[in-house]
Structure 1
Amino acid sequence: MSKRILLIIAIVIFGSFNSFSNGIIQKDSSKPKTISFKIKLKSEDKIKIAVSPLKYNKHFAYSFTLDDGYRSAYLTAFPLLEGGKIYNSNINEWKIDQGGDGTTSKGLFYSDGMGDKIPFKLALAINGGSIRELPENRGHLSWKEIKEMYDAGWDILNHSFHHATKHGTNYLTEVTDNTTSIKQNLNFTMSHFVVPGGEGDEKYYLEYEKEALANGNFSVASYYGTGPVYKVNSKVDLDKMISARTFVLSSKDTTSFKTMDRFLKTVDSIVKQSDPVWFNDFTHGTGNTNLWNLSIRFPDFKYYMTTLADKYGAKGNDSIWMAPWQEVYEYIWLRDRIKVDFQQKNKEVIVTIQLPEIPQNFRNRAISLNIETKSKFEIESTKGLKIKNDGQTNHKLILLQL
């Protein structure tokens, strides 16, 4: 076995670029550009550099989405994962309990590979026509609640404006009106679509897929399609992606976690593969009641997520990247389009990365590089570049944030 030590370089690129010493960065972050930086080794040991399949060089990415914008997402799921007070019993306008157990969560985390914890994050598939502030016991989220979760890193996905599926649905306006609604109220443009379920004309979902992809969405989660498990050790076909979705749901058994254990066993079988993978799951509500029998009761949800965190998160083997669909999609899209070069001269290494033209509505602009070296290292100080590294200790990780 090689004695070389894995070094992960994660370059997190946010917003517009400014001047960058030791490299050239154009002002408009959507345009192609080249960035470069210098690694200074403590010895002349030769290094190898390769793009990491997943951010932080994690073994698997798991994306989990809550459909329909039910308020239980804010009352229970968000504080459980982020850390905070979980609401107690909360009976909504439909006489359904969307609350949890009233406890205070310390949060569920994986690490960035340098000791800092990152909370588990999910996505919300939202119908803009259902978002409102009143009544107090409303069943759906408010704009303020959605914004709080979005600001914490949760992704918001287009789920149609009215959740319309029946005969006579105008699929085009359902897609575009929802995009407009979220833009007007939250000031960002959604870029991924989740087909709403329900009664409808035969194969109505095909109409949603067509209109979503024709009107600015990069991918669609639907009844049928590719996946939902993707090997990511090589290029992934993301062009007009239509992915099949699967659900994690509670059963009628309220006395044990046997149903959740079966879902967890499926996760375990997926991540035991030698190749890195990305996969996703869905559900609806996460309150104490199994909403429409298409949800996870909060005790089951808490058990499921806590078990994932204990086994694969910071408390376990730390192999999970628990990130929402859009975040993982954007990482892989960029990963498959960048060009990385490096030149080593004695103890100095110049790394050059050619970035493609990035869509303006991308939220995440991140890439990770794996580098093998025996040597400790440091990064030459660069104006305007925030650097975090453990080059003098474990010498495995450098994080660059612009």
Structure 2
Amino acid sequence: MKKITYFLFLVSSFVYSQGVSSGLFFSQEEAGSSNFKKVIITFDAAPTKVNVNKAFYKYDKEFAFSFDLDDGLVGQYRVAMPMFNGGTVIYKDGNTPNYPGLFYTDGTGNNIPFSATLNVNMNLINKNANPVSNMNEFMLKNSYVKNFSLTNHSWSAQNQFTAPGFNSDPAIRDQQILFQITENYKKLKETLGVKVPNFTAPSNDPLYDPITIGLVESGYLKLVNNINNPGNEFGHSPNRYAEYWSTKKALGLSRDFDTWKDNTITRTARDFDFINTLLATAKLESNQHLWITLGTHRINLGEPETTNGGSMRYKSFKWVMEGLESNYGRYGADNMWMATIDAVYGYLKCVEKSSIVQSQNGSTVTLSIDFSEVDAEFREHSLSLLIDADTNITNIEYEGFDDYSHAINYKNLGNANALINIAYKPVYENAVTGRLGALVAVENLETTKSQTDLDTAQPLVSALRNGSYKYSLQARIDRVIVTPGAIVMQIDFGRSINGYELIYPWNSFTNTGIGVTVGSKLTNLSSTTSIQSGIDIEITAAFENYDANFSGVEGDPLANFPYEAERDCFKTLNGLTSTLRLTNLDETKLYDFTAFCSRNFIGTGTEITINGEKVVVGHKNNKYTLVSIANVVPNAGGILDIHIKGTGTNNVYGFLNILQITEKNP
């Protein structure tokens, strides 16, 4: 193998201070804490036999199924995240609120959501709130918190280095490849505060292989998929058995993008025949456990769209994922472990490297479990244990585990048998995910302004170690105004093109999509927490058109709303009043209105009047000033009119970029 020299400076003590922000976030004592954990089993009588076996797969599942989503595309976040975890699924043909999620069980009655791996190129990650092609940073962070895995997929998806236009000097090419890997690693760590030592080469480019193998051997990378050197210690073959892959350095596992792509999916039971065939074959093999690894790219495409290789229309993706649940998940045989490649590999290594010491005192058996030989930077250390004794189990207790569950009389084999699931996050992962989880919760609260999200964010921030990171998050919480029991609706006025229009749960009143003329209407406004309010808003006195000359800049940390919403607006007719009518308001509630009005050089000010109360804002070059009218009581029949007009003597135009409506109790 080609020998490559790398200049990578690794400081071992740095692990204790790296994170989303600078600062120490776990102690040396915590870092060196014991890896010994205990399971204490009590029987109704002293047993003479207690057999303890590690299940081959977590939750004692028959087979593992891993699914990859390439390139960090925004549709993957808007479809797979809520489809797997539950929430509002957004795809090109529409959206599905309150999707229930997709699950298998842990064998003890608890539902576990599906998960997937996102292979990410950080150079393509968006900064704005409404990305069109690739995810933004919040989406990446939230995906990690929701137990999706992230993999380094190179900085800019650069591949085919031998093609025309690339430097033909192998030494220069190797440095370019090294940059693609290390720059993406650095940016992932800066964004997430988490080391991502797993790598998947873009387009399976074999020129990455010697570089990635060298980085594995130096300890910089841990898992590398799609290495193109079959038969050697790094793997890469069509083998679908975990026994083969668990012996390979850096795994090297092949991902199948052909079995499920849109032109092969029939949306019939035949789509699952290959799984059933593989399961039947595995049962004929001695001590072989099936591990299926599939993947795709786009999953949000509409029915009329044609897909390219390795992508799916939304309905095809929904069909195969729901089929996994109904056939092999909680509503089927429940024999599938739907987990990411690194989660499966990590569990296999826990089985291999952990040790169990069994001791007995009368009717109590203690299992002392040592994980000290397992990689401390795995996201989780876990085992599923199968207990077979000759007296009945009456109680099971745990020491040192974050997550545990058990089922006595497992598989109806009697009360002397049990399945025990145990897991904990190693110190580093526990620390960084605590910080990241708190950050995601605060960023979500800043968007929704809901009491529920405040109740989620505050304890996560309070639990952080004292320091600048915790204090900065607390200051952000303190700046959010939350009205208990209220729902908040946000309406974006302006253009209906990419980069100007925000998606659900924002409500977009757009020039072409909805219109600026009398009768243009949005129905059943959505709240920031995806509640359908039943409230309608309609234009009863026309605007002239949209406008899009805004003096603010994308990424401004002082901005009150997303740039896509602030940058465009509706413009009133010169010297005339435009009117919006709200209907289906709750007459037992009060309503607060906040508006953002801005245009960079036309006119002077914008006047807004609701039920006789008037506010005026200087809109010229306005970047931060909001105007509000509070505690408005709807008129009879649940109606309110909002009048917008310009002020001044020349170019008397008014502008409305954003309207935020808060419904609250009196």
Q: TM-score range by the shorter chain?
A: 0.7 to 0.9
Equivalent residue for 1:105, pick from 93, 99, 103:
99
Alignment of 1:242-281 (within 5 A): 242-247=252-257, 248-252=259-263, 256-257=266-267, 261-262=270-271, 264-272=272-280, 273-274=282-283, 275-281=288-294
1:261 to partner: Cα distance: 3.2
1:359 aligns with 2:361: no
- Among 136, 141, 144, which residue is 1:150 paired with? 144
The equivalent residue for 2:396 is 379
- The answer to whether the 8 Å contact 1:340/1:351 transfers is yes
Whole-Å Cα distance in 1 between the matches of residues 50 and 238 of structure 2?
36
CA distance in 1, matches of 2:64, 2:419: 19
Is the Cα contact below 8 Å between 2:37 and 2:401 reproduced in 1? no
Distance in 2 of aligned mates of 1:234 and 1:171 = 29
**Two-structure CA RMSD over aligned residues (Å):** 3.1
* Shift, 1:72, TM fit: 0.8
2:203 to 197, 219, 232: 197
The residue that corresponds to 1:94 in the other structure is: none
1:318 aligns with 2:323: no
Q: Determine which structure has more spread, i.e. the larger CA radius of gyration.
A: 2
Q: Distance in 2 between matches of 1:378 and 1:118?
A: 24
Shift of 1:312: 0.6
The one-letter amino acid of 1:276's match is H
Q: Distance in 1 between matches of 2:56 and 2:241?
A: 9
Q: How does 1:50-65 map to 2 (within 5 A)?
A: 50-65=53-68
Task: Give the structure 1 partner of residue 223 of structure 2.
Answer: 219
Q: 1:286 aligns with which of 299, 306, 309?
A: 299
Asked if 1 retains the 8 angstrom alpha-carbon contact of 2:105 and 2:330, the reply is yes
Which structure is higher in RCO with an 8 Å CA cutoff and minimum separation 6?
1
- Picking from 190, 193, 201, the partner of 1:187 is 193
Identify the residue that residue 43 of structure 1 maps to in structure 2.
45
Tell me the equivalent position of 1:343.
359
Q: 1:399, CA displacement in angstroms?
A: 4.2
Contact 1:53 1:234 in 2 (8 A): no
Once the two structures are superposed, the pairs formed by residues 85-164 of structure 1 within 5 Å of their partners are 85-89=88-92, 102=96, 104-134=98-128, 136-164=130-158
Match of 2:609 in 1: none
Alpha-carbon deviation of 1:57? 1.0
* Deviation readout 1:91-118 (Å, 9 max, x if unpaired): xxxxxxxx66535421110011121101
Aligned match of 2:184 in 178, 182, 201?
A: 178
Letter in 2 for 1:286: I
Deviations 1:115-166 (A, max 9, x none): 1101100010000110012383520001101111110100001100110013
**Which residue identity is paired with 1:330?**
G
Distance 2:209 2:404 in 1: 46
Opposite residue 71 of structure 1, the aligned amino acid is: V
Cα offsets for 1:238-284 (capped at 9, x unmatched): 42322222114434479x426x834x222222233224332311111
Aligned: 1:70 with 2:92: no
Q: Give me the whole-angstrom Cα distance separating, in 2, the residues matched to 1:152 and 1:278.
A: 23
Partner of 1:309: 325
Aligned to 1:79: 82
| CA gap 1:178/1:210 in 2 versus in 1, 3 angstroms | same
Output the amino acid matched with 1:280. Answer: T
The offset of 1:231, in angstroms, is 3.3
Contact 1:250 1:290 in 2 (8 A): no
Q: Whole-Å Cα distance in 2 between the matches of residues 369 and 276 of structure 1?
A: 17
Pick from 331, 335, 344: which aligns with 2:347?
A: 331
> Who is 1:34 aligned against?
36
> Does structure 2 retain, via aligned residues, the 8 Å contact 1:221–1:243?
yes
SS of corresponding position for 2:127: coil
* CA deviation map 1:340-385 (0-9, x unaligned): 2313454221212222344343111111221113512213575987
Inter-partner Cα distance in structure 2 for 1:151 and 1:88: 22
Structure 2: gaps spanning 5 or more residues: 1-15, 17-27, 162-166, 168-172, 229-234, 425-666
Which whole-Å CA distance do the structure 1 matches of 2:384 and 2:82 have between them? 29
Aligned residue for 1:209, secondary structure, equals helix
Number of residue-to-residue matches in the alignment: 363
Per-residue displacement from partner, 1:58-84 (whole Å, max 9, x unpaired)?
A: 111111010101111111121111111
Aligned identity (percent) is: 23
Using the TM superposition, name which of 383-392 and 278-287 deviates more. 383-392
2:46 touches 2:363 (CA, 8 Å); kept in 1?
A: yes
Whichever residue aligns with residue 322 of structure 1, its letter is M
- Partner in structure 1 of residue 483 of structure 2: none
**Retained in 1: the 8 A contact 2:197–2:220?**
yes
Q: Partners in 2 of 1:165 and 1:128 — Cα distance?
A: 15
2:565 match: none
Deviations 1:172-203 (A, max 9, x none): 111111110000011101121111017x7xx4
Q: Is the 8 A contact 2:386 2:420 kept in 1?
A: no
**Which residue in the other structure is 1:23 paired with?**
none
CA contact (8 A) 2:73 2:134 kept: yes
Q: C-alpha separation between the residues in 1 aligned to 2:260 and 2:409?
A: 47
